[in-house]
Structure 1
Amino acid sequence: MIKVLLTKWPRIHWHVFLLGFVILSCESKETNEDKTEPVNPYTDVRWRVSLTKVAKAITSNPVNPNTIYVNTYNDYVGRGGILISYDRGETWPAAMSPTIDTSTNQGAGDVQFIAVCPNDTHIVFAGGVHSSGLLRTSNGGKNWVNVLPGVDADAEAMAFNPQNPAQVFFMSYTDAGFYVSQDTGRTWQLRKLTGFGYSCTLRMHPSDPNIFVAGASKGKIIKTKDQGYNWYLVQKQVSNQSNEWPEVPAIIWDNENPNKLYATISGANGKSFSQSNNGGETWHIKDLKEGLWAAHMTKSKLVIFGGWQSTYITNDEGKNVFKIGGDETVSGYWSITSSGNRILAISSYDRSLMMVDL
């Protein structure tokens, strides 16, 4: 039997047989013209300013998400400090002021992250770069103690063990040292220098306190399965020969689906974030045409990304990623949190705290 394929019509196959029959079959071949971009449901959303003269760190109270903490520069509370809102960022009546030596240019505006203990929200931690130490308050900010002098921190570098309320974990920035506290952060022991360069972020498995992932230098994602005694490389965004110096500033671990993780990428061409579907063992890179810093998952499982220029959202586990709003006048979204349907994001370029209700 002889089969002849005519190519005059590229999407139609003509099958000609010597038996005298001509059979016409149409194949559905998707072309670029057939593809339709999904409609962005967040195009008309607009951010509004909640607070100005802010620095880089923001978080919400894990027990009462209406309570928001944000750090400011010296403009507000003399030496810089942390402001508290009890109405999801509408007003900012309360102030906490960490004691950091401003004579070495290490004021509270240098704070890169704020962490609130979920078992006792009077206990709050604050840390920053330039070896300013890890600060702790046990009375809601009236007094602060530097419990790890000389270390530095970048972005979200702390985790609390839900199975052991006294156990807290911390990853330092410059040397990627993994620290453990057995007394809710009063004292600390260095468990391991990971050896993968500096580290920006630390995340604990939602149900297994032995498993952690961290973002390290050169765009590396590292992992431990024995509570920090041994670490191994699971993802590297660029080769050793590359001139790029990407960071992994933020990692999200889905509390309801421990196989699902997201990690932002900053400073690597053609790479915006990575996504894992197997608990962080392998990662798949996606490109939004700009670097990303912040990442946050809301209670309703919306994933929000903060980039150099814009903010993004996915409501289908990364299948589609949409820009939030149109062209905005602020940029450089460093840190994000949420309270209900409200998203709050710090624009480090403009020193503004922005918020939007979705």
Structure 2
Amino acid sequence: MPLSRFTVLDLTRVRSGPLAVRQLADWGANVIKIEAPEAVDGSKGMGGERDGSDFQNTHRNKRGITLNLKEPEGRKLFYALVAKADVVVENYRPDVKARLGIDYESLKAINKGIVLASISGFGQSGPYARRPGFDQIAQGMGGLMSVTGLPGQGPVRAGIPLADLSTGLYAAIGILIALLERDVSGEGQWVHTSLLETQIAMLDFQATRWLIDKERPGQAGNNHPTSIPTGLFRARDGLLNLAGGGESMWRRICAALELDDVVDRAEFSSEGLRSKNRDALNAVLQERFIQNTVSHWVTLLNEAGVPCGPVYRVDEMFADPHVAALDMRLPVHHSRLGPLDLLRSPVSLSRGERRAEPTPERGEHTDAVLKEFGVTAEHIASLRAQNVI
């Protein structure tokens, strides 16, 4: 598989870290998920129930071992894995790495080619570095909640853990960049990002509206903040989602809706005026859209080259024939839970298939993995007796 030559040691928990590692696991990296032995930590921890849909989707395509990093023998064993690995990924608070002896300088001394990827809530330095990080806090401090929701409604969190998800993706990109650079330099490096940094980066044009234009973005609801007409309209049997910014798109919309008397009205004659008179423009379109069904308008407008679509609930989304054709399900068979449908990676390659293995049980592959790294059966038995594994 595309990434099968890389071995990744996964120390991550909850979502952002496991998601970063999953990007590599899906494409064949030899990912070894490291958890504390149950005798040492019997709690489920954060990340949901092990048999739950979230945990099963998040930790697929990995092999699982148990290892107690708080014990000297456990760290010694971890260092033996580091010596032959390519990547270590962790999302502890910054001070925990040094306490456990898994900071970059310590790992580099063992393997100069190692890439350490660190994910935190607020970064590796600065006044808030040691604060615990959580997606919703990053959404608030990173500006997202201030631009989400209806005008005047007050801040609203996104319906998905956007800071967690984007941090996992950025971290995976950083890991791949470091591995590509290692091909030239022969050395690994420390890759780090945080929920707050990536949430700010994900603001994109909303952030640069302030940085460059000194314009403070606000809530626009279902309207696009700068592209008009874009938003939701009520049709006869449901909601229509329309994206029609720009002069040519405006004229296509009016032609398709037979609004010849509207297209050149003075108050709608430029993008700036359409933005200024957004409410009046939306009222005109709403009066037209209520006269027919969502499917009628979706067909008509798409044929005219205007982006639009229905607004689905999750079950309706999976029932859509095009979504079915995209085949976003990743079927796996869990030895205990049976057949499961997970979410496949949205990336497709012309060569190289995705891996489809279920999430491992805690420590399911401990013996097999340690033997691959040269640990004898007798030593494994001794380590288990000491609750090191």
One fold, TM greater than 0.5? no
Q: When the two structures are superposed, what TM-score results if normalisation uses the length of structure 1?
A: 0.28
Q: When the two structures are superposed, what TM-score results if normalisation uses the length of structure 2?
A: 0.26
**Which protein is bigger by CA-based radius of gyration?**
2
Q: Give the structure with the larger strand fraction.
A: 1
Q: Give the structure with the larger helix fraction.
A: 2
